[in-house]
Structure 1
Amino acid sequence: MRKRWSLFATIMTLISAVVIFSLLMTDILISNLLNDHTKNSLEEKALMIARVMAKTELVQDALEGDEAALKKIQAYTSDIQEQNGVEFIVILNMDGIRLTHPDVRKIGKKFQGGDETEAMSGEEHTSTSEGTLGKSLRALTPIFSDDGTQIGVAAVGISLAKVNEVMSEGKWIIVYGSLLGLIAGIVGAYILASYIKRVMFNLEPAAIAKLLQERSAVINSVREGIIAVDMQGNITLVNQSAIDYLQKLGLNTNPIGLPISSYIPSKGLDRVLAKGEEQLDEELTINGTTILVNRVPVKVDKKIVGALSTFRDKTEIKKLSDQLSGVKTYAEALRAQSHEFMNRMQVIIGMLHMKNYDRLKEYLDDIVDQQSGDISAITSNIKDPVIAGLLLGKLSYAREKGAVLNISIMTVVPELTAAVSYEIITILGNLLDNALDAVENSSTKEIELKFAKTGGMIEMIVKDTGKGITKEEEALIFEKGISSKGVNRGYGLYLVSESLRKLHGKIELESAPDVGTIFKASIPYVKEENGR
């Protein structure tokens, strides 16, 4: 398989080729222009000298036969020739005979080149011809007497070798300039290619395309909706799950490039863009549907360039949470009851070995009374089977932990909807778990749970004999992540406060060091016949 060029090599080659081609074309054009300009300049120089010769009185006198002038004219033209750096200045009479010439042996002989005809006819012109001194650039100007009669021709010649030498000097300047331009172009190409590679994290275009495809596949395979916005709040990325969610919410247009505020309330994202603070697990209601939203800033080189929002229908999360909560409660109850059962079986086996049948009968009667009493006391007043199951499980779990859990039910708790039942399980489960943790190292491990009805509110009071809570801890105890139990803790009481907020309830706290803590959670009483 043919090896593909790298991006660096491609950029270097392409830019270098463009620079070389541009410089070559420029070199050709400038060289031609310079050659033309040089030739024109030399022609103008030769013409100017020829015109001066034609107007010189000494030259005119010599052509009219003045002997004194004829003697001086050769020296005069030689001086002018030397001063101006031309190859020759030749004065011709109307018969084409030379009166002057750099080679005195040629004086008096016929002018060679054949280009003097036009000048003999009174027309000034330039030409390139070959004479006795070789090829030269010539300017020929007619010479007139005072009465206007043409009496001769002034011919000024510049050697073509001299012309080519001047042109070559200019050409080498162009070549040197082109080489410098080529070097600058190659260096610039190297810098540009290096910069592009650095910006692209040294990845090749094929690798970037593959990463883009993989990123798109990963983003679209996630069940959570994902929306990214730029600093202006315009949507720059949205995955398929987000599009599906938005369509369920009645928002059907393509969101790319549109303001996020056109679809969902953007105050949260505005704060994230402004302050760079994360917002996690916040509830947002759109068209009657509640979703859980996470918002985080997107940073490049520690600078905020946008924000990312992920969200999911709370109903789906709640279903998973309900399943997890139910399984956890059931598992705790089974584990605790299994432990209790094994302890009691060991007692029964021991009494059988000792043949202490009377004591065994009393023990079994006590077990039956205790179990039936617990079940009867709870199920007769707690009509919601999920909450009743939770309490029975916590009773067994408390006994397993060596603690005493006393449950006092002063009012009937009706069967509730799944949503309300879930929130109450969250409240009771976390309060009882915290109480069990609080009494773990106490000499008196007692916990009391009391249900009461006061002024249209159901009160759930959890009292423990733990070490208590300090005033400093009380001020922060319901905030997310605040705990004295170590890392990855501190969510229980935050969830309790969130559940109470959803049920329009409240919670009160009383605590005394080395005495214990009382949590009183109150929610509006819900009548059974309302089905809620």
Structure 2
Amino acid sequence: MKQLWGKVSLKGQVMLFTSLIVLISLLILSAFVAHNQSKNTREYLAEKVQISASHIAYSALIQDSLLIGEPNQELIDYVELVREENDFLYIVIMDNQKIRFTHPDHEKIGQTFVGSDAEEVFNGEKYTSEDIGTLGPSMRAFHPVWDREGNQIGAVSVGIATKSIQEAVLENQIILIMITAISLILGLIGAWYLANRMKKTLNGMEPKEIALAVQERNSMLEAVNDGILAINNRGEVLLANDTAQQFLRRTGYRGQYEHTSIDLIWPELKLQEAITAKSPGNHELIKKGDVEVIVTRVPMYVNNQCVGALATFNERSQLHDIMRDLIGAEVYAHSLRSETHEFMNKLHIIQAMVETESYEELKDYIADISERYHLKTASAVSQVGQLVEDVSIAHYLSKRIGWMEQMGVNVHIQSGIPWPSMNTDFIDTWVTVIGNTFDNAWEAMKQKEHRNLTLTLKQVGGVLRYVIEDNGIGFSASEQQVLVTTKKGDHGYGIANIQKKIQLLHGTLDILSEKDKGTIITVHIPYTERS
């Protein structure tokens, strides 16, 4: 049954439930009204026959006939006329001995009145009762007849057939049934209209679909690592996911969330301003206590009407960790591309030697590669890990130094206090500095027979110092003014981009070069542990 009911659409369920409620309500109401109508109809007819009996009892014609002691045609005609006009079953005039003076069946005139309910009328009582007479079951009204001196001289009994009462009740109930049927039809129309409105309001979704959508929404909200806060247009919180609640608890808030003003929870967020803002606020830096977060605030619209605002946020430290990982991955990818490029060059050389059958030269070349590989751990590369604590920079610098050594460059490293771990801004800047200065140094030395490179990494008085010196072709003072690389792709961004990067961190760049003697590039960038 449940499975069958589950297949019924929301519209069908609403119509069925509404129709059932209307039907049950109408049935209860109809039963109550039918009972009252039956009761009222019987009371009305009882009152009608009682009043008729009373009027007849006070008629002079009736009194005179009973005083004479015998019926007459005038009395019979009068009583029959009254009976027919009021659709009574009978009107019987009787004397104190229950002898009938009138009766619809003229043969029964002069006979004794039939019925055990006629005794009390001769004691001066007037009343109604139900009994079975010669004409069948009837409701009978009894009324005593007195003469002018107040002596009882007889009685009047007026009867209406029980069948007539039932017909009157049935007629009223038929009308009631018709009204009930019309009301049910109207109820069904109303249920259909209500079901359509509900379906439209719910965008045509069924209850199971709505429940599933809510569960999916909650799962998605809790799955994201960003904090999410939503408010209505009155500034009351509609939603705060687990990440947002955990963050707010860590920063000191211990109250409720839903239907609480955002100004009581996080006044610095100023989320209500997003409701009237013409454009969303992207990546704004906002503080909550001692914690800095990056916030995006946007208004929420339903049917082109702003109904509230939404804020997504993350702690700045977490974003820095993500950027650090991304830069490390980028550095690693850059190193892999460089090694792949070098490896392919070696394969081309080996292929050429094989094709020209220069086996002795090939043997020497492979021996040279092997020797360089085994000597690598004893080269300057092995020193980098001791000079730079930051893994991303150390890895990248090692790859660049190793490449230089493989290309026949004699690399010498000078050091002082090691470089510390850094945030993403510094890592990005130093990757740019190292990559471009090494590329420029190689371009300057690659035509030289003897290639020497000296690298200095120091930390002096809160300033990171980087000095790279080559014995390349150098350049004149005038050339320093237009020293901008023209290389593309993976080879760096040039001196101009180095200057742009270090200026953002309040650093300096110095270039000292002589034609055919070499170049010294010195970079200083202020650094503290809070940078």
TM-score (norm 1): 0.66
Alignment of 1:183 with 2:185, yes or no, is: yes
Contact 1:332 1:393 in 2 (8 A): no
Shift of 1:60: 0.9
Correspondence for 1:465: none
Matched letter for residue 158 of structure 2: V
Alignment of 1:300 with 2:342, yes or no, is: no
Correspondence for 1:28: 31
Correspondence for 2:120: 118
Matched letter for residue 61 of structure 2: L
Alignment of 1:347-426 (within 5 A): 386=427, 387-395=429-437
Alignment of 1:1-40 (within 5 A): 3-6=3-6, 8=10, 9-40=12-43
Specify which of 145, 155, 166 is matched with residue 153 of structure 1: 155
Q: Distance in 1 between matches of 2:528 and 2:236?
A: 49
Check 1:139–1:528 CA distance in 2 against 1; reply closer, same or farther (3 A cut): closer
For residues 397-431 of structure 1, the C-alpha deviation after alignment (integer angstroms, 9 at most, x for no partner) is 78999xxxxxxxxxx9978689xx9xxxxxxxxxx
Specify which of 255, 260, 263 is matched with residue 261 of structure 1: 263
Q: Distance in 2 between matches of 1:400 and 1:153?
A: 143
Check 1:400–1:153 CA distance in 2 against 1; reply closer, same or farther (3 A cut): farther
Check 1:145–1:415 CA distance in 2 against 1; reply closer, same or farther (3 A cut): farther
Specify which of 79, 82, 91 is matched with residue 80 of structure 1: 82
Contact 1:398 1:436 in 2 (8 A): no
Alignment of 1:90 with 2:132, yes or no, is: no
For residues 375-398 of structure 1, the C-alpha deviation after alignment (integer angstroms, 9 at most, x for no partner) is 99xx99xx9995454224235678
Using the TM superposition, name which of 18-27 and 328-337 deviates more: 328-337
Shift of 1:311: 0.8
Using the TM superposition, name which of 276-285 and 333-342 deviates more: 333-342
Using the TM superposition, name which of 295-304 and 277-286 deviates more: 295-304
TM-score (norm 2): 0.66
Shift of 1:58: 1.2
For residues 135-176 of structure 1, the C-alpha deviation after alignment (integer angstroms, 9 at most, x for no partner) is 211111001111110111111111222111111100101111
Q: Distance in 2 between matches of 1:531 and 1:113?
A: 117
Matched letter for residue 85 of structure 1: D
Using the TM superposition, name which of 172-181 and 30-39 deviates more: 172-181
Correspondence for 2:227: 225
Correspondence for 2:102: 100
- SS of structure 2 residue aligned to 1:256: coil
Q: Distance in 1 between matches of 2:485 and 2:14?
A: 67
Contact 1:269 1:307 in 2 (8 A): yes
Shift of 1:461: 6.3
Alignment of 1:304-315 (within 5 A): 304-315=306-317
For residues 327-356 of structure 1, the C-alpha deviation after alignment (integer angstroms, 9 at most, x for no partner) is 546755886899799999999xx9xx9xxx
Correspondence for 2:289: 287
Shift of 1:191: 3.4
- SS of structure 2 residue aligned to 1:250: coil
Q: Distance in 2 between matches of 1:396 and 1:336?
A: 13
Count the aligned residue pairs. 422
Q: Distance in 2 between matches of 1:117 and 1:438?
A: 135
- SS of structure 1 residue aligned to 2:271: helix
Q: CA RMSD in A?
A: 4.7
Matched letter for residue 264 of structure 2: S
- SS of structure 1 residue aligned to 2:267: coil
Correspondence for 2:376: none
Contact 2:263 2:270 in 1 (8 A): no
Shift of 1:270: 0.9
For residues 106-129 of structure 1, the C-alpha deviation after alignment (integer angstroms, 9 at most, x for no partner) is 211111122221111110011112
For residues 424-478 of structure 1, the C-alpha deviation after alignment (integer angstroms, 9 at most, x for no partner) is xxxxxxxxxxx989999xxxxx976499xxxxxxxx569xxxxxxxxxxxxxxxx
In percent, how many aligned pairs have the same letter?
28
Check 1:38–1:334 CA distance in 2 against 1; reply closer, same or farther (3 A cut): closer
- SS of structure 2 residue aligned to 1:251: coil
Check 1:276–1:41 CA distance in 2 against 1; reply closer, same or farther (3 A cut): farther
Matched letter for residue 27 of structure 2: L
Q: Which runs of 5+ in 2 are unaligned?
A: 353-357, 359-403, 421-425, 444-457, 467-482, 508-523
Shift of 1:199: 3.5
Specify which of 52, 59, 62 is matched with residue 59 of structure 1: 62
Q: Distance in 2 between matches of 1:152 and 1:346?
A: 146
Shift of 1:530: 9.6
Q: Which runs of 5+ in 1 are unaligned?
A: 354-366, 402-411, 422-434, 441-445, 452-459, 463-495, 506-524
